[in-house]
Structure 1
Amino acid sequence: MKRIFDEVHGTIELDDVATSLVDEPVFQRLRRIRQTSLAYIVYPGANHTRFSHSLGAYYLTEKIGKKLVKEGFISDSELNDVKIASLLHDIGQFPFSHAIESFYIKKGFSNKDLRDLILMSSFDEAIEKYGLDLKRIREILNGETLLTSLIDGDADVDRMDYLLRDSIHTGIQLGRIDLERLIFTITYNESGITVQDKGIISLENFYLSRLHMYQAVYYHKTILGYELFLTSLYSKMIEECETRLNVEDIKSMISYGTFPYWDDEWIFGSLYRCYSNSSNSTLSQMIKDFLDRRGPKVIYDEIGYGDKGDNEFKEATEKLSRVIPSDSIYPFEEIINIFDKSRIKVISKDKELSLSEYPTLLNTIPEKLVIRRVYVDRRYAEKAREML
């Protein structure tokens, strides 16, 4: 048994198997990957890591899992499996998370693919040593069982932890949720979640917090601009000076045991090396701009709560591309799912009701957030604004 003091949940107790997995170098790597990528550029306190978040997810899984065991929804064996799955759910995160993952996704290699490789190569012996089944744990992580909903579902431990944790470290109060009440009043099932009526306000707050944190932190216009900038910079860096970081190279790093050191600091090291080796190149100027916080500027910004078409976004992108180099334009479009009303049921007066049958703010909260933006490199910002 190991006790760790956490700034969000207080004392977190790790059993023998969790302690063994946390001690693995590939898990220690998460200490050197920031939870919120480049959010520290806007919120200086956002330097917390995937390591602490993984421990928080483990803690919440144990807390919810014990409740579900007591209620007869899952067995002790299933609880052990889902605890380890939650501990390892972020083990395949790339340095700077989505900023670097975007480069590899275009090559057909996501953090889920990376996680699966790491699980099979670095944790198989440690997991089976304690009588656990790696296959079952992978099934939970890959969405093949009901237990997946605890980690990646309608009200999961992943989001419960990071909303609170990110709120604390950014100073943004929007992520504060009534965690105790939420855990006490929800139950998971194959069609989604069921919440008791006395917990409906806590669930409303959970989804409102998610919606607001997406706008204030995860898709903040400056943070997103720098993530797009880093993705472009990383691509150029691999072409010009760090040529051994393609998908097969990452797989080789796992095989040879050097992968645990591919982290945020590695990326910074690569940036410094590339800058010093070609200090007068276009790439070096990009690196300097990134490090000096002179990133791209947003020229077009559209935020909505339903997909009503994107003609203006397309027109803006096309108009800019006629006079500004394509590699200096960063268009971004994403539809973000906040929640699915059809997957939530309410227990009121011993009756199970659909959400539409119960008076709740959830019926008016938008289910999707739509963000469309166009950024350009700073030197073209004035010209771009004049055009639009």
Structure 2
Amino acid sequence: MEKFIRDNVHGEVYIEDSVFTDLIDTDEFQRLRRIIQLGGGQFVFPSANHTRFSHCIGVYHVICKFLENSEIDKHISEKDKKVLKISGLLHDIGHGPFSHTFELVTTRHHEDYTVDLIKGNTQINKVLLKHNIDPEEVISVIEGRHDNQIVNSLVSSQLDADRLDYLQRDSIGAGVNYSKPDIDWIIRNAKVVEGKIVFASKTMNAIENFLLGRYHMFRQVYEHKISTAFDNTFKMWFKRFKDLYNEGYNFKNIESVDLFKEVFENKPMPLVKYIYLDDYSMFNLFKILKTEDDEILKDLSDRLLNRKFLKVSYDMEEKEFEKMKSEFKGNTSYYFDEVTIKDIFIYKDVNGKKDETIYILKNNKLNNLKDLSEILNIDWKNNIKKVYIFPKYNVE
């Protein structure tokens, strides 16, 4: 078969095997159309409403581009190439509503649900078996456990198909120019040496630009204060929802409560409930719970529904925060918080036990990028931020 998908980032995406179209046509994959890639970022940048659906197809495309490089292609078997492409297509299948935001309130990460969707009683699992693809092998690639380390690196590393797609896609969606990685140049000059994907020394500027672009995207887009405000308002909303359940509150809308019953009881959400959820169903839930009699739940639901999020400050004095809290007329536990935003690393060659090194081939010798790059050896300031969360106005 032959099919083309037209994409605003990569142009034409070529699909050459029915296993990919069959996977895209599953209910579980179509659900990704209803999950916004940037979560709270959509409330900052009006055009940042692209989805996990388009991103997953983009990752598939970037992997295909890597395989057009004969220096990489020859190190991967035909069987593993298909598994690799499927892994790129399915790597984010387990994301919940608002992407990473939903992980603030659940007992499991989206990677766990990705595994469940691939090996569980799902349409995706049935498609894989129909095409004689071992679901466990797909999972091994997504988790970085595949026997071929080249395959693992293309899906999960510091310079993988995932990042090469989302940085450019998010930049275009947000309407900013912080990140436009030179994908073709980087991929064309990649090869395999000593069982590792390495890059020619002439790609150093392009790779530094990629890393700096990612850094600036985190500072200006992913950690924008409005996005942070949405995340923390959502967290407070869920906290109130859960507390009311545990206090035996008599909800008008019992169906909404049943949907989250397991999470309220600190148990994993059943897969059938999890895949029911998307951004659309959550906004509908905010509308429903806005009709409850509890004033706090009503207020927080309205804030999420109509972009009246709690405020965020990176530079407030603690004394000012405590004074505001002491003068507040409502229940402070649902309106005030202090959170820490983690460090942003431009480059990190070790992540736990995992080798994340970007290797540069210079004078026939493998080098760690940071040993050659002047930019990466700048003494970057500590980026840990203490963030204060508070309401813009009192709740009477």
Q: TM-score range by the shorter chain?
A: 0.7 to 0.9
Q: Which residue does the alignment assign to 1:81? A: 83
Asked if structure 1 preserves the Cα contact closer than 8 Å seen for 2:118 and 2:125, the reply is: yes
What is the deviation of 1:194? 2.4
In 2, the alpha carbon distance for the partners of 1:10 and 1:196 equals 26
In 1, the alpha carbon distance for the partners of 2:193 and 2:299 equals 53
Asked if structure 1 preserves the Cα contact closer than 8 Å seen for 2:96 and 2:274, the reply is: no
Given candidates 312, 333, 337, the residue that maps to 1:330 is 337
Secondary structure of 1:153's aligned partner: coil
Given candidates 71, 74, 78, the residue that maps to 1:72 is 74
Given candidates 28, 35, 39, the residue that maps to 2:30 is 28
In the superposition, the TM-score normalised over structure 2's length comes to 0.83
Asked if structure 2 preserves the Cα contact closer than 8 Å seen for 1:100 and 1:234, the reply is: no
Matches within 5 A, 1:295-310: 295-301=309-315
* Aligned CA distance change for structure 1 residues 301 and 114 (closer, same or farther; 3 Å): farther
What is the deviation of 1:238? 4.7
Secondary structure of 1:210's aligned partner: helix
Residue by residue over 1:215-242, the C-alpha shift from the partner in whole angstroms, topping out at 9 and shown as x without a partner, is 1110111111111111221332355453
1:340 aligns with 2:361: no
Q: Name whichever of 344-353 and 7-16 sits farther off.
A: 344-353
In 2, the alpha carbon distance for the partners of 1:69 and 1:78 equals 16
1:254 aligns with 2:268: no
Q: Name whichever of 212-221 and 117-126 sits farther off.
A: 117-126
Q: Which residue does the alignment assign to 2:284? A: 269
Q: Which residue does the alignment assign to 1:100? A: 102
Asked if structure 1 preserves the Cα contact closer than 8 Å seen for 2:313 and 2:387, the reply is: yes
Amino acid at match of 2:312: V
What is the deviation of 1:156? 1.0
> What are structure 1's unaligned runs of at least 5 residues?
303-311, 382-388
Q: Name whichever of 85-94 and 324-333 sits farther off.
A: 324-333
* Aligned CA distance change for structure 1 residues 227 and 113 (closer, same or farther; 3 Å): same
In 1, the alpha carbon distance for the partners of 2:131 and 2:315 equals 52
Secondary structure of 1:276's aligned partner: coil
In 2, the alpha carbon distance for the partners of 1:193 and 1:18 equals 26
Q: Which residue does the alignment assign to 1:305? A: none
Amino acid at match of 1:24: T
Given candidates 222, 229, 249, the residue that maps to 2:226 is 222
* Aligned CA distance change for structure 1 residues 69 and 238 (closer, same or farther; 3 Å): farther
Output the aligned Cα RMSD. 2.9
Amino acid at match of 1:114: Y
In 1, the alpha carbon distance for the partners of 2:185 and 2:95 equals 30
Q: Which residue does the alignment assign to 1:370? A: 384
Task: Say which structure is richer in helix.
Answer: 1
* Aligned CA distance change for structure 1 residues 237 and 248 (closer, same or farther; 3 Å): closer
What is the deviation of 1:286? 1.6
Asked if structure 1 preserves the Cα contact closer than 8 Å seen for 2:237 and 2:297, the reply is: yes
Identity of aligned residues (%): 28
Amino acid at match of 1:120: K
Amino acid at match of 2:298: S
Secondary structure of 1:93's aligned partner: coil
In 1, the alpha carbon distance for the partners of 2:347 and 2:136 equals 29
In 2, the alpha carbon distance for the partners of 1:235 and 1:289 equals 15
* Aligned CA distance change for structure 1 residues 166 and 190 (closer, same or farther; 3 Å): farther
In the superposition, the TM-score normalised over structure 1's length comes to 0.85
* Aligned CA distance change for structure 1 residues 43 and 359 (closer, same or farther; 3 Å): closer
Q: Which residue does the alignment assign to 1:306? A: none
1:7 aligns with 2:8: yes
Q: Which residue does the alignment assign to 2:114? A: 115
**Residues matched between the structures, number:** 365
In 1, the alpha carbon distance for the partners of 2:142 and 2:372 equals 33
In 1, the alpha carbon distance for the partners of 2:145 and 2:193 equals 13
Amino acid at match of 1:134: P
What is the deviation of 1:126? 0.9
Residue by residue over 1:330-377, the C-alpha shift from the partner in whole angstroms, topping out at 9 and shown as x without a partner, is 322123444224613321232323335425423338598433312112
In 2, the alpha carbon distance for the partners of 1:163 and 1:9 equals 13
In 1, the alpha carbon distance for the partners of 2:153 and 2:194 equals 8
In 2, the alpha carbon distance for the partners of 1:362 and 1:33 equals 34
1:351 aligns with 2:360: no
Q: Which residue does the alignment assign to 2:41? A: 39
Asked if structure 1 preserves the Cα contact closer than 8 Å seen for 2:211 and 2:347, the reply is: yes
Asked if structure 2 preserves the Cα contact closer than 8 Å seen for 1:68 and 1:74, the reply is: no
Amino acid at match of 2:43: I
Amino acid at match of 1:199: T
Asked if structure 1 preserves the Cα contact closer than 8 Å seen for 2:197 and 2:359, the reply is: yes
What is the deviation of 1:10? 0.7
What is the deviation of 1:322? 6.4
In 2, the alpha carbon distance for the partners of 1:66 and 1:355 equals 24
Q: Which residue does the alignment assign to 2:177? A: 173
In 2, the alpha carbon distance for the partners of 1:22 and 1:158 equals 17
Q: Name whichever of 208-217 and 193-202 sits farther off.
A: 193-202
